[in-house]
Amino acid sequence: MDRHSLKFTLESISKDILSGDRRSLARALSIVEDGGPEASWLVRKLFPHSGRAHLIGVTGSPGVGKSTLVDALIVEILKAKLRVGVLCIDPTSPFTGGAILGDRIRMQGHTLDKNVFIRSMANRGHAGGTALATYDAVRMLEAAGFDVIIIETVGVGQSELAIAQTADTTVLVLMPGSGDDIQAIKSGIMEIGDVFVVNKGDLPGAQKTATEVMQSLELSKNESGWHAPVDVTNAETNEGVEKVWTDIQKHRQWLEKTGNLKARRRAKSEAELAELVAEIARTNLHQSLEHSKQVQDLVSELVDHKVDPHSAAERVIQTIFTS
């Protein structure tokens, strides 16, 4: 496809997204997943239509029932007459997400509901890239008019934290007896939670786990002034999920009232900018590796141990940003 006709296609996609066309939205999401100039074009075009949705991150260790909780939350959000988009991101397991997700959608019967859009995100091969793709995918969903966007990640590692940071409100899901997770809260690693959920509340020890989480939260200083609620749910039966949705909305109201929403979005913009410049540097280097004899020779010196990697990186950075 030549440059002109590709632009024409992107023009139609962006126009159709704004009028709520689901197929164009799906195509746009594939484009931003892949990254590159087409993705940048779409983001530039649709950026003015983004920034208004409430972004909710849902994260937690595998097996705590995040997907079931998200399904139950979708029902609450639809009851509130809001449109909800869901991005499911599993950077540690790029191959299973799609299939499992397909089953979920069919099970829940949401596929044909125009107020719900669920999408599994493939990864770009490295964690920073996945966070970047998430920022842009959120923008596509916002342009398509979704009021609430849920970003569901698997696990609580550093990749997941970077992705959770793209949300306004982060829901951290645990289950009874999640000793490691409570340890993580104590050590400050899980301070990212704005709303805590102890799911599988029918299992023994649910209330004890909730109490432990509350105690851990009291230990770790919370400078923002927000007192994170700890809810007990049984997502399978919808028990307690309404309370979670109420708490999520309270957090959003608190963010707006206190000016924390703007502060948080500024921090997010800085994090995104850092990842974007890192990505540009990486891309420029890969191009130089293909085209620049000078850079290829430098790699040879590196392989032969004639130059160390840190010195090589400083030398190459001059080349790739001046050529």
If one asks whether residue 193 binds a second copy (CB under 8 A), the answer comes out as: no
Count of C-beta atoms within a 10 Å radius of residue 188: 12
Count of C-beta atoms within a 10 Å radius of residue 124: 18
If one asks whether residue 253 binds a second copy (CB under 8 A), the answer comes out as: no
Among 34, 256, 277, 294, contact with a second copy (rule: CB under 8 A): 277
Give just the sign of the alpha carbon dihedral 141, 142, 145, 148: positive
If one asks whether residue 285 binds a second copy (CB under 8 A), the answer comes out as: yes
Tell me, residue by residue from 195 to 224, as one string, x for binding to a second copy by CB under 8 A and - for no binding.
------------------------------
If one asks whether residue 292 binds a second copy (CB under 8 A), the answer comes out as: no
List CB contacts of 44: < 8 A, sequence separation 6 or more.
Answer: none
Tell me, residue by residue from 158 to 187, as one string, x for binding to a second copy by CB under 8 A and - for no binding.
xxx-x-----------------x--xx--x
At closest approach, how far in Å is the CB of 139 from a second copy? Answer: 9
Q: Which CB sits closer to a second copy, 40 or 238? A: 40
The distance of Cα 115 from the centroid of its chain, to the nearest Å, equals 20
Among 4, 109, 125, 293, contact with a second copy (rule: CB under 8 A): 125
Among 280, 294, 297, 323, contact with a second copy (rule: CB under 8 A): 280
Among 11, 202, 270, 297, contact with a second copy (rule: CB under 8 A): 270
Q: Which CB sits closer to a second copy, 243 or 282? A: 282
If one asks whether residue 91 binds a second copy (CB under 8 A), the answer comes out as: yes
> Of 5-13, 142-150, 235-243, 304-312, which segment contacts a second copy by CB under 8 A?
304-312
Among 65, 85, 155, 201, contact with a second copy (rule: CB under 8 A): 155
If one asks whether residue 272 binds a second copy (CB under 8 A), the answer comes out as: yes
Q: Which residues bind a second copy (CB under 8 A)?
A: 40, 43-44, 47-48, 50-51, 91-96, 123, 125-128, 130, 135, 155-160, 162, 180, 183-184, 187, 189, 262, 265-266, 269-270, 272-282, 284-286, 289, 299-300, 302-303, 305, 308-314, 316-317, 320-321
